[in-house]
Amino acid sequence: MKLPDITILDEKEKILRKKSKEVSFPLSKEDKKMINDMIKYLTMSQIEKEREKYNLRAGMGLSAVQIGVLKRIFVIVEELDSGEFKNYIVINPKILSYSEEQIYVGEGEGCLSINREVTGIVPRYARIRVQAYDENGAPYEIRVREDISIAFQHEIDHLNGILFIDHIDPKNPFKNQEKMREI
């Protein structure tokens, strides 16, 4: 596989703090290519041989804004089994509902745009229901849970100019940990 020619922006880039714009359909050729490139990049980052060959950090989600495009588009690539992946293409997402239960990633959330160690927990909903559009402009609703729910919330935050570090209390990075479930 050939690595797509995309550059993931670092947290210092001001564009990451901007709110992304709604997308209109049909998608342009450039937008479709960008989506395919983002999926290919994430897939390669999860395959050990490719990750080592191209010196990549493993990632499962990527928003258009992270590659400098202010559009409400993100993709998630979930590894189901070794070498088997499920792709989520999410355009103009809106969270319709969420669980009362909150969870957090025990080892800490990560982000391809944040290239440093971050300590603390990020409270997320255990389950969410999202309305979005696919790459053909067809609306759909999806319920996601656990790690995929966290990934969706993380990427939706990106579309709103929010980074996961914004959810960590600097004075008490493990605040309310006992009220949430670790995954």
> pLDDT tens digits, residue range 158-172?
999 999 999 999 999
Residue 60, pLDDT > 90, answer: yes
What is the average per-residue pLDDT within 36-52? Answer: 96
- 100 carries an active-site annotation: no
C-alpha 79/C-alpha 82 separation (Å) is: 7
| SS3 category, 61 | strand
pLDDT tier, 38 (very low <50, low <70, confident <90, very high otherwise): very high
Domain that holds residue 24: 14-182
Maximum pairwise Cα distance, the chain? 47
User: Rounded to an integer, what distance in angstroms lies between the CA atom of residue 46 and that of residue 1?
Assistant: 13
- For 39-60, what is the mean pLDDT? 95
Any domain includes 161: yes
Q: What is the pTM of this model?
A: 0.95
Residue 55 located in a structural domain: yes
Domain assignment present for 8: no
Q: Residue range 10-35: average pLDDT?
A: 97
**Residue 112 DSSP code:** T
Residue of 30, 135, 155, 178 marked active site: 155
pLDDT at 83: 78
pLDDT band at 81 (very low <50, low <70, confident <90, very high): confident
**Residue in the structure block whose two tokens are 């990934």:** 151
Distance CA 177, CA 105 (A): 11
Residue 82 has pLDDT above 80, yes or no: no
Q: What is the mean pLDDT of the chain?
A: 96
6 found inside a domain: no
User: Pairing relation of β-strands 139-145 and 181-182?
Assistant: unpaired
Q: Is residue 41 part of a domain?
A: yes
Residues 6+ apart with CB under 8 A from 28: none
Q: H-type helices in the chain, by residue range?
A: 29-46, 48-54, 146-159
In a domain? residue 9: no
pLDDT average, residue stretch 5-18: 96
CB 73 within 8 A of CB 15: no
d(CA 2, CA 103): 36
Q: Is residue 172 part of a domain?
A: yes
User: How many separate domains does the chain show?
Assistant: 1
